[in-house]
Structure 1
Amino acid sequence: MSEPMLLLWLVIGHIVGDYYLQPKRWVDDRNEHNAQSKWLLAHVAVHGALTGTIVALYIGTVPATAFAVLAVVVTHFVMDVIKSHQIGKPLLWLLIDQAVHLLVLFVLWALLTEQSSLQVVKALLAKVDAKFITIFIGYLLVLKPASVLIATMLDRWSAALESNKAPGETETNTPQVAAGAEPAAEPNAEASHSLESAGEYIGYMERGLIVTFILANQLAGVGFVLAAKSVFRFGDLRDKHDRRFTEYVMAGTFASISIAFVVGLIVALYLGINIQG
């Protein structure tokens, strides 16, 4: 087993222990009883057993195995207790929790294999070429920057929808349109059943998928994304019976698609991908 394989097996052990060998009742009990949860102890014991088995098979010495088990058990217990006390922003804390666990595994791997962290970082950076950076920039552009651009483009129409009147009209309803997000199915916040920020994340996924399908030279996948979105949008527009709202949604939808398509084609052109329909 090569040295990188040890790190990969440690990551696999972490994924299995955190997501496949941790029933929901363990998580609920941890969130309720925090450090006093017996199932939290069972959870970290599972991680200790997985890590110990992997290190024992690879390194084969008791001190190395004991050190690895202790490091994983202690850090996992501390992080899970901290996370159990956090009420708000569950996604943020999930990402922080996973980042800390993976960092611990990386440091543990570096210590066990006597790898210099600087050497590892240099080796990873050496594998990052201009093509990777170009693809990374492409995905960055179609996420938040594209969302801000679309919101700016639609701003003057959003204001008209928020006041529920076209220029020159006198109605005084006050519905709300979320700036920076995909055009909502219903501009009136009080009457809306849409999820908070869901439209924005849907836009992220839509544009990300379009770029991915273009780079994979699978334009049929782009058609699938557009067809799926059209089905849901058709119901929204049919029920709304508002021409201004329909135009607003169409403008936002086509702007989102166009941005993703242009960025995807530019990246594909730079990478020398021959796009075929």
Structure 2
Amino acid sequence: MEITYAPLLLWLLVGHVIADFPLQPLSWVQDKARHRARSRLLVLHALIHGAVAAWVVAAFGGIYGGITAVGVLAALIFISISHYLIDLIKVTLLRQLQHVGGFLLDQGLHLLMLLLLWLFVTPNAYMLTAIAALPVTGWHIGLLALAYLLIYMPMGILIGQFLARWTPQMPPSAKADDDSLLRAGKQIGYLERTLILTFVLIGQLPAIGFYWRPNQSFALVIYAKVMTKCVPST
């Protein structure tokens, strides 16, 4: 039997990252934390995840065949409900966990649900161990897309939560003044991660050193400016 369904798991992961980060504004996250079970945006967010998963399953079935309408409907219902319940648990029962622990547990549960969905809709799920043998147009393109998606918002959020205890809190007056500076630092972080991953993928590891050395000075300037705003004047 040919390996045709293994890339579906990877594209489900890509869809999850897109729906959970670029398609979820910060205001939605704050609304979920504030209103919890009463949050309409929590319901909308879960439905978006279900719709994205169903679209991925339907598109993949249209290309390779073997996936029925039941599988597409199962993706819509199962992912919508499971994502709603997991996010609801996160904003209620998991509020006491540290940010990093809660983030990793939340994402781990979501990935487990995607794996269960994949096992349900995939006729040859037992061939998961042979994913690495897939042609470039299947596995490798999906892995490349997932890698670039992960280094942006998910990795940025994880790093921010991990370093939160050592990050100085800016006074409200300074936050307004330095909002553009912080946004610039965020974009620089995106650019840095993009370049580093690209250098790694093309095998140009020495280029990372040539890029990083002069860039350190600019990063230190931004950090120094932020720190001066955080330290109260005497």
TM-score by length of 2: 0.53
CA distance in 2 between counterparts of 1:233 and 1:67 reads 50
Give the alignment partner of residue 91 of structure 1, picking from 87, 100, 104: 100
1:26 is paired with a residue whose SS is helix
Which residue of structure 2 lines up, in the alignment, with residue 77 of structure 1? 84
Mark the CA change 1:15 to 1:230 in structure 2 (over 3 Å): closer, same or farther.
Answer: closer
Question: Which structure has more helix as a fraction of its residues?
Answer: 2
Report the residue type matching 1:104 in the other structure.
Answer: M
Deviations 1:237-265 (A, max 9, x none): xxxxxxxxxxxxxxxxxxxxxxxxxxxxx
CA contact (8 A) 2:67 2:122 kept: no
SS of the residue 1:20 aligns to = coil
Q: Contact 2:32 / 2:42 at 8 angstroms: preserved in 1?
A: yes
CA distance in 1, matches of 2:114, 2:131: 17
Give SS of 1:16's match.
helix
Give the RMSD, CA atoms, in angstroms.
3.9
Alignment of 1:84-163 (within 5 A): 84-85=91-92, 86-117=95-126, 119-120=127-128, 122-123=129-130
- Residue identity in the other structure for 1:67: A
Q: Distance in 2 between matches of 1:232 and 1:24?
A: 25
Q: 1:228 to 1:55 in 2, by over 3 A?
A: closer
Task: Provide the residue aligned with 1:22 in structure 2.
Answer: 24
- Offset from partner CA, 1:175-222 (integer Å, 9 cap, x none): xxxxxxxxxxxxxxxxxxx638xxxxxxxx9xxx7xx87x93442431
The corresponding residue for 1:143 is none
Amino acid paired to 1:216: G
Among all aligned residue pairs of Structure 1 and Structure 2, give the percentage whose two residues are the same amino acid. Answer: 29
Cα distance per residue 1:92-144 (max 9 Å; x no partner): 22222222212221221122112345x42x435889xxxxxxxxxxxxxxxxx
Counterpart check, 1:195 vs 2:204: no
Tell me how far apart the structure 2 counterparts of residues 64 and 80 of structure 1 sit (CA, whole Å). Answer: 23
Using structure 1 for the length normalisation, give the TM-score: 0.46
CA drift at 1:230? 6.2
Q: CA deviation at 1:31?
A: 0.5
Deviation at 1:70, TM superposition (A): 2.1
Q: Which runs of 5+ in 2 are unaligned?
A: 135-165, 169-191, 224-234
Matched residue type, 2:85? V
Once the two structures are TM-superposed, the CA of residue 44 in structure 1 deviates from its matched residue by 0.7
2:222 counterpart of 1:222: no
Q: Which amino acid aligns with 2:78?
A: A
| Structure 1 unmatched ranges of 5 or more | 128-193, 197-204, 237-277
TM-superposed deviation, 1:81: 0.9
- Of 33, 36, 39, the match for 2:35: 33
What is the deviation of 1:80?
Answer: 0.4
Evaluate the alpha carbon distance shift between residue 216 and residue 9 of structure 1 in structure 2; reply closer, same or farther with a 3 A threshold: closer
Report the equivalent of 1:170: none
Of 39, 42, 45, which residue of structure 2 is paired with 1:43? 45
Match of 2:7 among 5, 28, 48: 5
- The verdict on how the C-alpha distance between 1:219 and 1:37 changes in structure 2, with shifts beyond 3 A counting, is same
Instruction: From the CA coordinates, give the structure whose radius of gyration is larger.
Output: 1
Structure 1 residues 32-87: Cα deviation after superposition (integer angstroms, max 9, x where no partner): 11122111011111111222223234155332222222221121111101111214
Give distance in 2, aligned partners of 1:19 and 1:94. 13
